[in-house]
Structure 1
Amino acid sequence: MPVQTTATTKVWQRFDRATRMRHYAGWIASTIVVLICWHFISEATRWHFVADAPQQFVEFVGRMFPPNWAYMDKLWLPLWDTLNIATLGTLLGIILAFPISFLAARNTTPHILVRYVALLIIVVSRSVNSLIWALLLVAILGPGVLAGIIAIGLRSIGFIGKLFYESIEETSNEPVEAISATGATPLQVLSYSILPQVMPSFAGVSIFRWDINIREATVIGLVGAGGIGLNLDASVNALRWDQAGMIFIVIFGLVLISEAVSAQVRKAII
């Protein structure tokens, strides 16, 4: 931190003049970018619709209440399908991400090229939303729960794999050296020195991803990948807003329960 010297006193300054000028230039450039983006957004926005949005929202919510409670009898099976999609999709993602994470970590990968391939798989998985995966798989496999499970699994590889390999890279090297000194094989070193350090993190990440997948499983049905989203799409298309209101209540309750369960499980594990 520079100190500005005058003839009689020294004045403390946090940044020198060049650093302050760079900060000012950065703020000015950011402001200009925001204003340009706002200009293009404003041109593409119909502001009279925006002004009418509060009234439309009130009318929209009014159509959904009171919800059709009798429709709940038809939601148990789609709700079960949604849980299966989230759970089995998460399990598929864990199974695929587990070896990929060891190949992607610097301290466990067998070769730098293998690491780049593993990182590419993780990036591709994270780059494509689960809804896009579901749309592609429905076109290939047809509509149904199977497409939803695979879509959730493919999306989960990137999330789980990235957090897994970061946990592996943060492990302490002392247990590795101690196990290696006994003449253990690479697989034994992995099993007895690295895995015990990362398993609590792995378990926490897996439960957290399952919690996220519960939310995503309720959406992918909109493109035909099974679950309660199919019923929501059918109700909206038929303008049965009382049924849609019931589905929203069920989804909200499901998310709350999954959040509570995952929080308790993570607390018990970590």
Structure 2
Amino acid sequence: MTDQHYEWERFTPAQRLARFTIFLGIAIGFMLSLRTVEIIPEFLYDAPSQIGDLFARMWPPDTGSYAVNIHDALIETLNIAGLGTMLALLLALPVGLMSAKNITRIPALNWFAKLILVSSRSVNSLVWAILFVAVFGPGALAGTVAIGFRSIGFCGKLMGEALEECDPGPIEALKAAGAPWTSIFLKGYWPQIAPAFWGITLFRWDINVRESSVIGLVGAGGIGVALDTALNLFRWDEVSLILLCIFAVVIAAEILVTKIRERII
């Protein structure tokens, strides 16, 4: 009788080959990326002193410029975020209904709705802002429309998924009773998706407050315009104040959204 020895191996040869191939691909991609980035060593070595010099110019912040250049731009940023979110919800609701397979049972419309949602999410807010600045000209209108169109994909996708997850029992009961579609939606679907709807609204508004601070760099209104002006004029003390204001608004929006979610959801 011969003794049999078993050797335990964590991965099979095929799995080891697959892991090696993946790691090799990542290493090759990393090396190619380094060649594409074209890092200049002289600038890299000089970066610490440049950062120190920049912070020295930015401190202390120019608090006197808040009332003159920053306050109105900050309020405009909040208005862009709020109106853009409302525009997104108005446009995203029908797209979300069209993407939900349990409501719209036409595959062509489902795919068309998904195309709209993907197209909205795949284009960055800055790109949308550049496009609408070319259409409407510089200002808050271009920023509001850009924020709205960028948010359609986010809001519509989550609302469509919430609609597909609804319990069909109440819906079938309303249909059996002969209720019209508006009653089916308001009495059957809406109570089930209301928490998700308000959660999506608050979360998206929070995101839009941050994005509204950036799109002004391309002329779409808001505090980004003031930031771009201060950068172009090398007013580093005013730049630091603008950055502090943006940070404060983002933190305040985060706290506000958290408190509202705790109360209504």
Instruction: Return the TM-score normalized by structure 1.
Output: 0.91
Amino acid at match of 1:119: K
Distance in 2 of aligned mates of 1:130 and 1:85: 13
Corresponding residue SS for 1:52:
helix
Aligned to 1:46: 40
Tell me by how many angstroms 1:260 deviates.
Answer: 0.6
Aligned to 1:157: 152
Residue in structure 1 matching 2:121, options 126, 136, 141:
126
Tell me by how many angstroms 1:137 deviates.
Answer: 0.6
Distance in 2 of aligned mates of 1:110 and 1:219: 40
Aligned identity (percent) is: 41
Pair 1:199-2:191 in alignment: no
Distance in 1 of aligned mates of 2:261 and 2:216: 28
Amino acid at match of 2:54: F
Tell me by how many angstroms 1:231 deviates.
Answer: 0.6
Aligned to 1:111: 106
Aligned to 2:131: 136
Distance in 1 of aligned mates of 2:8 and 2:183: 58
Distance in 1 of aligned mates of 2:162 and 2:13: 39
Pair 1:23-2:15 in alignment: yes
Distance in 1 of aligned mates of 2:230 and 2:158: 38
- Aligned-pair RMSD on alpha carbons? 1.9
Amino acid at match of 1:213: N
Aligned to 2:181: 186
Aligned to 1:145: 140
Distance in 1 of aligned mates of 2:264 and 2:6: 56
Q: 5+ unaligned residues in a row in structure 2: which ranges?
A: none
Count of residue correspondences: 261
Tell me by how many angstroms 1:140 deviates.
Answer: 1.2
Pair 1:210-2:205 in alignment: yes
- Taking a change above 3 Å as real, the CA distance of residues 248 and 139 of structure 1, as seen in their structure-2 partners, is same
Instruction: Return the TM-score normalized by structure 2.
Output: 0.92
Amino acid at match of 2:15: H
- Taking a change above 3 Å as real, the CA distance of residues 30 and 52 of structure 1, as seen in their structure-2 partners, is farther
Tell me by how many angstroms 1:32 deviates.
Answer: 1.6
Pair 1:258-2:253 in alignment: yes
Aligned to 1:3: none
Amino acid at match of 2:16: Y
Tell me by how many angstroms 1:35 deviates.
Answer: 1.5
Deviation per CA, 1:164-219: give whole Å up to 9, x if none: 11111111111112222212233322221111100110100110000000000000
Distance in 2 of aligned mates of 1:69 and 1:224: 24
Tell me by how many angstroms 1:118 deviates.
Answer: 0.9
Deviation per CA, 1:109-151: give whole Å up to 9, x if none: 1411111111111010000011100001111110000000000
Deviation per CA, 1:194-252: give whole Å up to 9, x if none: 11100110100110000000000000000000000001001001111011011001001
Q: 5+ unaligned residues in a row in structure 1: which ranges?
A: 1-5
Aligned to 2:59: 65
Tell me by how many angstroms 1:63 deviates.
Answer: 1.3
Distance in 2 of aligned mates of 1:243 and 1:147: 25
